[in-house]
Amino acid sequence: MTSSGTPTRRASLWRAAVVTIGGFVLLGLLAGWLWYVLAEPAAYTVTSRGAVMGEGEAAQQFGVDVTFGWIGAVAGGGWGALCAWWYARLGWSHVLLTLAGAVAASALAWRLGHALGPPEPRAVVRSAEAGTQVAMQVQVGAYGVLLFWPIAALLGLLVVVTWFTRDDSQSWPT
């Protein structure tokens, strides 16, 4: 703190880093669990020759990716906007904090949802009887969906900074 009792820029930056990245980490863990709960992975049907998957079941993988994407967009965009509201005065350094936190949250959500989901289907298919349904793992099929977190977080930050902060010294002449 300075002699006037206000925190220094460095202290403010550290506080913003802990809140922003810590919040993203917590959201990533919550989102991974939520993805595991809400995602409906496709299932194989065990036959005498192995396992088969119908066309409808194969299309369900898209739904798993979409579920991950909308959870990331809502959580990332919301937290990015909220942190921008709190820490807009920190400038470009907060953009880097938001980006780092969103990338970490995306990776955590992906890995946790995958870890909580069903086991590797090959091992289950070997010991299952014909006619048994064996669920695929909760897995991201299109890795581009991992970018939803950082893109949404930066868009949330951009919207808040653009619409709700103003520097009167750079206003249009009247």
Residue 104 in any domain: the answer is: yes
Residue 149 in any domain: the answer is: yes
Q: Of 49, 47, 56, which is closest to residue 129 (Cα–Cα)?
A: 47
Q: What is the largest CA-CA distance in the chain?
A: 81
Residue 50 in any domain: the answer is: no
d(CA 59, CA 63): 7
pTM (2 d.p.): 0.80
Q: Residue 1: its pLDDT value, please?
A: 47
Query: Exposed, middle or buried by CB within 10 Å (0-12, 13-18, 19+), for 39?
Result: buried
**pLDDT per residue as tens digits for the range 100-124:** 999 999 999 999 998 897 777 666 6
Residue 123 in any domain: the answer is: no
Would you say residue 35 has pLDDT above 70? yes
Total tally of structural domains belonging to the chain: 1
**pLDDT per residue as tens digits for the range 135-158:** 777 788 889 999 999 999 999 999
Q: What percent helix, strand, coil does the chain show, rounded to 5? A: 70, 5, 25
50: region left, alpha or beta (phi > 0 left; psi from -120 to 50 alpha): left
d(CA 1, CA 12): 10
Q: Residue 100: its pLDDT value, please?
A: 96
Residue 173 in any domain: the answer is: no
Q: Of 79, 74, 8, 4, which is closest to residue 35 (Cα–Cα)?
A: 74
**pLDDT per residue as tens digits for the range 44-91:** 777 777 666 777 777 778 888 999 999 999 999 999 999 999 888 888
Range(s) of the domain holding residue 97? 9-41+61-118+139-162
